[in-house]
Structure 1
Amino acid sequence: MTKSRPQIGIIGGSGLYSLFTDAREEFPDTPYGKASAALTIGRLGGREVAFLPRHGRHHQYAPHGINYRANVWSLQAAGVQQIIGVGAVGSLTPSIPPGSLVVPDQLVDRTTSRVQTYFDCPRVAHASFADPYCPTGRRTALQAAEKCGWPPVDGGVQVVIEGPRFSTRAESQWYAAQGWSTIGMTAHPEVVLARELGLCYTPLSLVTDLDAGVEEGNGVTQHEVMEAFATSLGRLHGVLDELVPLLAEERECACASLRPGAL
């Protein structure tokens, strides 16, 4: 019997394992080594979905040490065409408090050491990246969150830093002064790799804290972030339950056509 291939992939934390029914595991081969973990494939909202914990099953990979190329490639190899990227972020403004759900529309890369392309020499290609996220996926995510009674923040700029440390107060204040709204460590190069493969990428950013420069205090701690994320897991599950069946089975966006060809 031929197994069905999941069209939708979710990348996020290990707490999302409980989403699925009738789950199985697959570990697709990639030219880039092993992904962070095996894919867990199961049913969600009547659809076949593949889940990948980006930090590994035991959170053993720091943001700068994740094999992003293998992760995104493994999802495509399994049949995924649309990726939902779930991540914890800090807020750079009091107007977006902890507990908010943000669906950003822009990204700024401040990482320093990550391989961020499939086009190693001598293959050369230049991906169109003016609008990083799938516009159709974003609209659908906003709709799903509203249906769940969790009014989302529509749009905003997420700045991605190298990590694993959090920002200094001066760095945080500088990011905020640019008008950027949230800060995280994993959205890049995940989304650009999806673009290079012609995949849709829809972000769901959960605000766990106010970043170091936003208010006085001791700054962000790992415990604070993990605790806040765990507290909102139930609400995230609800949004994903609504979002997955709403995503179109036949894509009408331009994401697939934006996949660049090697020169």
Structure 2
Amino acid sequence: MSEPVIGIVGGSGVYQIEGLEEARWQAVDTPWGPPSDEILTGRLGGVRMAFLPRHGRGHVHAPSEVPFRANIDALKRLGVTDVVAVSACGSFREEMAPGDFVIVDQYIDRTFARAKSFFGTGCVAHVAFSHPTCARLSGAAAAAARATGVTVHQGGTYLAMEGPQFSTLAESRMYREVWGADVIGMTGMPEAKLAREAELCYASVAMVTDYDCWHPGHDAVDVASVIRTLTLNSANARALVTHLPGVLTDRPTPCPCGCDRALEHAVMTAPDKRDPALVARLDAVAGRVLKC
């Protein structure tokens, strides 16, 4: 067992946690550019935590422009071991109602304008991704969410769309009826892929704000009701975070899901063919296997 360092990637307000000790905003330099914002570090319940606003404070980064590689690299540099991603989503399922939380365990990646890997020409790697989230960490996130009293759905498929526009009705129906997705959002990818490449345990908590446009009553939902749900979700997300240290006091080493060994046999480029410049950029993400 080892002491975890919990990283929370979320929206505005999620980092406003009562009881966070030794709190300070910290700038982190990465070879991939600056992360979305400074990172708030501190201790909660004796456990080290780091909070990263995915869109930046004030919501300045559009989904396609979030610096996902810099964000994951920065968390890794700070010693984070377990990443819990919190994000808003639309629902394709009647039973996954506004205000509910869905613990995502699968993805359909429809993004196309984002860098999706730390690796590339000069150092090629292929990580396994059939199970894209950490079952251990997802279970802990579900337990923390249930402790808040919110309705939690354990397991769900997240359709990651490019955005920033929402779906057409035809797309929404296809995602729901043909592809079998459960929720839809704009930030789940490539965040989960990059976390796997960085050998970080990763769990995703999708907070339902409304039904996507497939729902016959979607047009009847007014802005005020959506804002009320967003406000409630933010409060519940903060409550979830306060419960995480209690369910993550000890961390099995190695991770039983293999997250912390994802690069064990993933790097394909022969050592003498590797690009030194790219290898240098991978010092935090892949230094364990590249011996940076």
Query: Among residues 260, 267, 276, which one is paired with 1:261 in the alignment?
Result: 267
Q: Residues of 1 paired with 2:215 and 2:30: CA distance?
A: 41
Question: Is contact 1:68-1:190 (8 Å) kept?
Answer: yes
Which residue identity lines up with residue 203 of structure 2 in the other structure? T
Match of 1:16 in 2: 14
CA distances 1:39-89 after superposition (whole Å, capped 9, x unpaired): 100122321100000101110100001110001100000111110000000
Q: Residues of 1 paired with 2:221 and 2:134: CA distance?
A: 30
Indicate the RMSD between aligned Cα atoms, in angstroms: 2.0
CA distances 1:204-254 after superposition (whole Å, capped 9, x unpaired): 110000001122443888876554222222222222211233123344321
Which residue identity lines up with residue 197 of structure 1 in the other structure? A
Instruction: Say yes or no: does 1:208 pair with 2:182.
Output: no
Q: Residues of 2 paired with 1:14 and 1:21: CA distance?
A: 19
Match of 2:236 in 1: 235
Which residue identity lines up with residue 10 of structure 2 in the other structure? G
Q: Structure 1: 5+ residue runs without aligned partners?
A: none
Which residue identity lines up with residue 189 of structure 1 in the other structure? P
Match of 2:96 in 1: 96
Q: Give 1:258 deviation, angstroms.
A: 1.3
Q: Give 1:151 deviation, angstroms.
A: 3.4
Structure 1 residue matching 2:71: 3-state secondary structure: helix
Q: Residues of 2 paired with 1:227 and 1:109: CA distance?
A: 29
Q: Residues of 1 paired with 2:76 and 2:227: CA distance?
A: 29
Which residue identity lines up with residue 195 of structure 1 in the other structure? R
Instruction: Say yes or no: does 1:111 pair with 2:111.
Output: yes
Structure 2 residue matching 1:194: 3-state secondary structure: helix
Larger radius of gyration: 2
Q: Residues of 2 paired with 1:62 and 1:244: CA distance?
A: 31
Q: Residues of 2 paired with 1:78 and 1:220: CA distance?
A: 42
Question: Is contact 2:4-2:82 (8 Å) kept?
Answer: no
Q: Structure 2 length as normaliser, TM-score?
A: 0.83
Q: Residues of 1 paired with 2:185 and 2:223: CA distance?
A: 13
Structure 1 residue matching 2:190: 3-state secondary structure: helix
Matches within 5 A, 1:60-99: 60-99=60-99
Question: Is contact 1:212-1:220 (8 Å) kept?
Answer: no
Q: Give 1:114 deviation, angstroms.
A: 0.6
Distance 1:51-1:95 versus aligned 2 partners, 3 A rule: same
Match of 1:25 in 2: 25
Matches within 5 A, 1:72-221: 72-177=72-177, 178-218=179-219
Structure 1 residue matching 2:13: 3-state secondary structure: helix
Number of aligned pairs? 259
Distance 1:205-1:198 versus aligned 2 partners, 3 A rule: same
Question: Is contact 1:6-1:78 (8 Å) kept?
Answer: no
Q: Structure 1 length as normaliser, TM-score?
A: 0.92
